[in-house]
């Protein structure tokens, strides 16, 4: 029994638990992994934040300066461990919640060990990028090659000398393509359905994230045309290499698809050098080949599906009216979705998710504290 329970000890869960504590409210944080920051521990080796350190820290304890401007994966994990220690947060690791149900005055959580945990207030912070999604392409079951989701990719070592097809030109797909090309894959193709918006991570020291923050409030058509002009100035024309320019505006895609642009940390260089070859979208599979949307076929040894994530929330809750058709809570980031129920960490903006969830943690903690 607890009065306030936070579900998930990632950045969002730790931030809100610390803010609650600052307001004099104790909480219990339930975490399925063996430590805090389970998601970041599982990400690929070369990963660094593409948001700047100063705008990625959690309330009350900034990310240490010595971690540099673009924080490495392992340093972010160290930071989140230190954050838990700093605020002496009560994190119960190895505790997986399988179902959540309303139960009178309290929320009832069914745990994987068969026990029940109840709480008057429940703050769900299980991550926007929770459940890896791989499209059910026709014929996939008959294909004999190796298929992994980008969430299972660590480094290029197992793929040395292999022909690899990476599917999806988002941040993970592009960076994994670069990693494979540098790490000795025999060939790297990148399948593209919708051409990405590509931005430089920083221009003359000015981070793309700041443009998102400062210009994000502009009307959509104005922002779209400014972003398109900047992209033409900053990013070489990759059309001769098989990568078209996007047709839909960046802010329109952010609004309609929660899309964030691809930050170039090597993909432009690799496409220009022919080390990563953009190809058409994947359509279907046969036993040995992948058929692409332009009618051509490829015969890769390995596919890395950088095809995104779902929130996994519709599996956790019985009530589908809490969520939109992509599984994102209809009410999140501050106000309660139901009495005593809060969701946070689902707001995708051009200013960075870590920055956004830090802001949300203050709002959610304020709302919960007012009722405690
Ligand atoms: C490759 C990659 C790079 C990224 N880079 C950036 C970046 O540079 N800047 C940025 O701002 N954002 C970035 N993000 C987004 C990033 O995911 C968020 O910023 C942040 O880590 C989200 O934190 P969170 O706490 O909401 O979710 P998570 O970090 O996913 O934490 C959720 C926690 O909940 C736990 N959990 C889930 N389900 C259950 C359950 N049923 N029971 C118990 N525990 C559960 C998980 O184990 C996990 O520890 C990146 C994401 C990816 C995938």
The response to whether residue 176 sits with its C-beta less than 6 Å from ligand 1 reads: no
Judge if the beta carbon of residue 15 lies within 6 A of ligand 1.
no
Residue 104: the pLDDT is 81
Average pLDDT taken over every residue of the chain: 96
- The C-alpha atoms of residue 366 and residue 188 are separated, in whole angstroms, by 49
Confidence at residue 223, expressed as pLDDT on a 0 to 100 scale? 95
CA angle 52, 348, 67 (to 5 degrees): 20
- Ligand 1: which atom is nearest the Cα of residue 15? 25
Contact 106, 116 (CB under 8 A): no
- Ligand 1 geometric centre to CA of 63 (Å): 17
Task: Taking residues 301-330, report their average pLDDT.
Answer: 97
Q: pLDDT (tens digit, 9 = 90+) per residue, 158-201?
A: 999 999 999 999 999 999 999 999 999 999 999 999 999 999 98
Q: In the prediction, which pLDDT does 371 show?
A: 85
The pTM for the full model equals 0.96
**CB of residue 5 inside a 6 A radius of ligand 1:** no
Sign (positive or negative) of CA dihedral 102, 104, 110, 111: positive
Distance of CA 255 to CAs 193, 252, 262, Å?
19, 5, 16
pLDDT in tens, 60-76: 999 999 999 999 999 99
Bridge partners of residue 342, in order along the sequence:
123
């Amino acid at each position: 029994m607890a009065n306030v329970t936070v579900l998930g000890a990632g950045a969002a869960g730790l931030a809100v638990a610390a803010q609650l504590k600052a307001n004099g409210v104790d909480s219990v944080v339930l975490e399925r992994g063996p430590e805090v920051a389970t998601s970041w521990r599982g990400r690929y080796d070369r990963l660094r934040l593409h948001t700047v350190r100063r705008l990625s820290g959690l309330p009350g304890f900034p990310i240490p300066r010595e971690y540099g401007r673009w924080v490495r994966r392992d340093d972010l994990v160290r930071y989140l461990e230190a954050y838990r220690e700093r605020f002496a947060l009560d994190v119960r690791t190895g505790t997986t919640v399988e179902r959540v149900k309303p139960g009178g005055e309290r929320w009832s959580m069914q745990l994987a060990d068969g026990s029940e945990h109840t709480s008057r207030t429940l703050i769900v912070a299980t991550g926007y990028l929770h459940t890896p999604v791989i499209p059910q392409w026709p014929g996939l079951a008959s294909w004999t090659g190796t298929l992994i989701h980008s969430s299972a990719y660590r480094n290029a070592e197992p793929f040395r000398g292999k022909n690899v097809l990476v599917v999806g030109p988002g941040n993970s797909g592009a960076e994994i393509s670069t990693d494979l090309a540098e790490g000795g894959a025999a060939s790297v193709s990148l399948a593209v359905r919708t051409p990405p918006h590509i931005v430089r991570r920083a221009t003359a020291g000015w981070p793309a994230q700041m443009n998102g923050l400062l210009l994000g409030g502009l009307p959509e058509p104005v922002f779209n045309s400014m972003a398109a002009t900047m992209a033409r100035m900053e990013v070489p024309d990759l059309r001769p290499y098989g990568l078209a320019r996007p047709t839909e505006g960046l802010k329109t895609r952010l609004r309609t698809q929660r899309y964030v642009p691809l930050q170039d940390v090597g993909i432009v260089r690799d496409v220009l050098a022919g080390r990563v070859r953009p190809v058409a979208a994947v359509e279907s599979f046969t036993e040995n080949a992948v058929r692409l949307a332009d009618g051509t076929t490829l015969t890769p040894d390995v596919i890395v599906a950088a095809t995104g994530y779902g929130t996994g929330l519709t599996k956790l809750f019985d009530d589908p009216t809490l969520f939109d058709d992509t599984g994102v809570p209809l009410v999140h980031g501050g106000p309660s979705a139901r009495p005593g129920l809060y969701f946070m960490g689902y707001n995708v903006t051009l200013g960075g998710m870590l920055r956004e969830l830090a802001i949300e943690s203050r709002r959610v903690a304020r709302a919960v504290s007012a009722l405690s």
